[in-house]
């Protein structure tokens, strides 16, 4: 009798078991709803609620990706979704208080967080066995990483903080983003010294550039684009180095992108004040 009941309960539970993609959709909808709620509460409480939503992002992401999590994966897999959430919340401060501008942001966030969960799931699986989608996931993950850094840099520079504050905040975010970007190439369960040293090197380089741009009379968007381009160049080169595919042609391609951004910065700089 008990055995039959257990079998029936198992059948019922299987019927209500959601697939990974369905879980990702559910988490994306929950977090997007939280984002919509935050933009309709008191202005002073948005930062606190944004932090809470970011913590919820980590917890829900960890829940749906809980299978086969080991060691540093508890950190590296969830850096991008957490920073994506807090950056989107902060970005709301720069938007007009109209649904016409905020609704597309909500949709973009929902699509973005879903894409991130799919990407992190591929990383999680690829850490255990080879998978064909890994290269595509790395490309998507790197693209979203660049978007997060661009938006975060735009937010920080728009606040007109001190040079030290710009350096510290952008260095910190660059450290986290570069760590997860480089980790996505190796997919190791431990953070080795090489990974940490390269991440620190990148974060200091990007942070120092943010400090320099604090004195430079460039538009905030252009300065943020330059910071992102420098991050793209440094991380991209080191990723190819990790893969054993760093050739002169590859390095030139990254440097050409950085060179064009530098020209854009000079051309759009207003020296008249």
Task: Read off the pLDDT of residues 65-96 as tens digits, 9 standing for 90 and up.
Answer: 988 788 899 999 999 999 999 999 988 878 77
In which band, very low, low, confident or very high, does the pLDDT at 268 lie, cut at 50, 70 and 90? Answer: confident
Measured between its terminal Cα atoms, the distance across the chain in Å is 84
Domain ranges, ordered by start, for the chain:
20-131, 163-273
Q: What is the pLDDT of residues 187-244, one digit of tens each?
A: 988 888 999 999 999 999 999 999 999 988 888 999 999 999 999 999 999 999 998 8
Q: Is 75 exposed, middle or buried (0-12, 13-18, 19+ CB in 10 A)?
A: middle
**151 token code pair:** 């938006």
Look at the block and give the residue holding tokens 């994506």.
Answer: 84
- The whole-angstrom separation of Cα 128 and Cα 203 is 29
- The whole-angstrom separation of Cα 157 and Cα 154 is 5
- The whole-angstrom separation of Cα 242 and Cα 181 is 11
* Confidence (pTM): 0.89
User: Helix or strand or coil: residue 216?
Assistant: coil
Instruction: Report angle CA 184, 185, 190 to the nearest 5 degrees.
Output: 70
Which run of H or E residues covers position 180? helix 163-186
């Amino acid at each position: 009798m008990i055995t039959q009941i257990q079998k029936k309960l198992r059948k019922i539970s299987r019927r209500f078991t959601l697939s990974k993609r369905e879980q990702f959709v559910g988490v994306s909808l929950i977090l997007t709803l939280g984002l919509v709620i935050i933009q309709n509460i008191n202005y002073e409480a948005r930062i606190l609620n944004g932090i809470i939503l970011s913590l919820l992002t980590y917890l829900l992401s960890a829940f749906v990706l809980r299978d086969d999590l080991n060691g540093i994966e508890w950190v590296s897999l969830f850096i991008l979704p957490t920073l994506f959430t807090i950056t989107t919340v902060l970005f709301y401060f720069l938007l007009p208080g109209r649904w016409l501008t905020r609704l597309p942001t909500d949709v973009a966030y929902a699509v973005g967080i879903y894409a991130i969960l799919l990407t992190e799931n591929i990383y999680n699986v690829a850490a255990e066995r080879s998978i064909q989608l890994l290269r595509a996931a790395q490309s998507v993950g790197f693209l979203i990483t660049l978007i997060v850094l661009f938006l975060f840099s735009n937010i920080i520079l728009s606040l007109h903080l001190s040079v030290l504050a710009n350096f510290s905040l952008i260095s910190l975010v660059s450290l986290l983003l570069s760590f997860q970007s480089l980790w996505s190439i190796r997919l190791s369960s431990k953070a080795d010294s090489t990974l940490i040293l390269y991440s620190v090197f990148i974060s200091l380089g990007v942070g120092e550039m943010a400090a320099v741009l604090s004195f430079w009379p460039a538009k905030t968007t252009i300065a943020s684009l330059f910071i992102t381009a420098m991050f793209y160049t440094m991380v991209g080169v080191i990723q190819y180095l990790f893969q054993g595919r760093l050739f002169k042609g590859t390095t030139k391609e990254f440097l050409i992108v950085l060179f064009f951004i530098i020209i854009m910065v000079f051309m759009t700089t207003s020296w008249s004040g």
